[in-house]
């Protein structure tokens, strides 16, 4: 039975034509018995007719009252409990499930959705038997694959010479430890060197005051150079 679907029907870009989608539905053994009967008759199949079919086909048959044709393609009409909103879900052939899950899982901005978000987005446009089970399984396999691959290796650049043209343009510092505590309670040595002059300085420091000493001694060293 052909139905006039006024609500916008959303499909994947790859499902570009009704004939291609219909062909894929007819090639799906779970969908074909329902689609063929719907194409050829307005009467719902009886249980006797559907009894020999697979469990998946029987589950589609149970939805017969909400299944409709548009351009020869089978859709499910979903309505909210209060009937204030509805949407048309393409009955998705098994051959298209992986492609739809990839598309739905990856957002336009490059982010990745969780199970519930992927499930919700899939139901916005599509319906198929065992949809939730397939989404959860796909998510598990997706993350397991990512874990096996590990983090993307970073390319480390080659060491290069850093040229300087004046004193104090670039300096290096390090902390020398551990050392015996001196009579002035110093236990570390702050070592500094100017890249241009190669002038070294070693400043004894106790612990937390090393920054203060660095600035005070640094200005004093600058006066000598």
- pLDDT tens profile 98-130: 888 887 766 543 345 667 777 778 888 899 999
Same domain, 135 and 81: yes
6: tokens are 């006024």
Residue 158 lies in a domain: no
**Residue 178, pLDDT above cutoff 90:** no
Q: Cβ(104)–Cβ(122) under 8 Å? A: yes
Q: What is the pLDDT of residue 15?
A: 44
Residue 75 lies in a domain: yes
- What is the distance of C-alpha 99 from the center of its chain? 15
One-character DSSP codes across 46-89: PHHHHTTS-HHHHHHHTTGGGEEEETTEEEEEEE-TTSS-EEEE
8: tokens are 């916008």
Same domain, 112 and 179: no
Q: What is the pLDDT of residue 213?
A: 58
Same domain, 76 and 181: no
Same domain, 138 and 190: no
Tens-digit pLDDT profile for residues 136-151 = 887 787 665 555 455 5
Which of 164-168, 178-182, 218-222 shows the lowest per-residue confidence on average (mean pLDDT)?
218-222
Residue 48 lies in a domain: yes
Tens-digit pLDDT profile for residues 30-85 = 999 999 888 887 778 888 888 899 999 999 999 888 899 888 899 999 887 787 88
Q: What is the pLDDT of residue 201?
A: 86
Residue 222 lies in a domain: no
Same domain, 120 and 211: no
Residue 129 lies in a domain: yes
Last residue of a domain, one of 127, 145, 163: 145
For 68, the domain range is 15-145
Over the chain, what is the mean pLDDT? 76
- Tell me how many domains the chain contains: 2
pLDDT band at 87 (very low <50, low <70, confident <90, very high): confident
Cα(20)–Cα(32) distance, integer angstroms: 14
Residue 159 lies in a domain: no
Same domain, 130 and 90: yes
Same domain, 57 and 98: yes
Q: What is the pLDDT of residue 90?
A: 93
Same domain, 76 and 178: no
Chain position carrying tokens 């949809």: 131
**HSE-up (13 A, CA, CB side) for residue 188:** 16
Same domain, 98 and 206: no
Residue 37 lies in a domain: yes
Same domain, 45 and 83: yes
Q: What are phi and psi of 94, to 5 degrees?
A: -60, -30
Same domain, 129 and 185: no
Last residue of a domain, one of 145, 161, 183: 145
Antiparallel, parallel or unpaired: β 126-127 and 86-91: parallel
In 3-state terms, what secondary structure has residue 33? helix
Q: What are phi and psi of 134, to 5 degrees?
A: -65, -40
Q: What are phi and psi of 51, to 5 degrees?
A: -55, -40
Higher-confidence residue: 209 or 197? 197
Higher-confidence residue: 174 or 7? 174
Residue 162 lies in a domain: no
Q: What contacts 207, CB < 8 A, 6 or more positions away?
A: 187, 188
Q: Cβ(12)–Cβ(100) under 8 Å? A: yes
Residue 107's CB is within 10 A of a number of other CB atoms, namely: 11
């Amino acid at each position: 039975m052909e139905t006039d679907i006024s609500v916008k029907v959303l499909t994947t870009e790859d499902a570009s034509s009704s004939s291609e989608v219909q062909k894929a539905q007819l090639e799906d053994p779970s969908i074909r018995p329902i689609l063929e009967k719907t194409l050829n008759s307005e009467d719902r199949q009886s249980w006797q007719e559907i009894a020999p079919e697979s469990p998946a086909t029987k589950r589609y048959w149970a939805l017969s009252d909400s299944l409709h044709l548009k351009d020869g393609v089978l859709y499910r009409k979903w309505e909210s409990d209060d009937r204030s909103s509805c949407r048309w879900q393409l009955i998705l052939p098994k051959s298209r499930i992986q492609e739809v899950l990839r598309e739905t899982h990856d957002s336009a901005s490059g982010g990745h959705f969780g199970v519930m978000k992927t499930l919700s987005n899939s139901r916005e446009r599509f319906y198929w038997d065992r949809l939730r089970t397939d989404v959860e399984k796909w998510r598990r396999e997706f993350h397991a694959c990512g874990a096996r691959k590990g983090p993307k290796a970073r390319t480390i650049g080659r060491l290069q010479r850093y040229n300087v043209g004046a004193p104090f343009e670039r300096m290096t510092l390090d902390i020398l430890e551990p050392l015996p505590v001196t009579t002035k309670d110093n236990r570390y040595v702050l070592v500094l060197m100017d890249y241009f002059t190669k002038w070294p300085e070693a400043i004894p420091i106790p612990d937390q005051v090393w920054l203060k000493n660095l600035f005070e001694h640094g200005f004093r060293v600058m006066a000598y150079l």
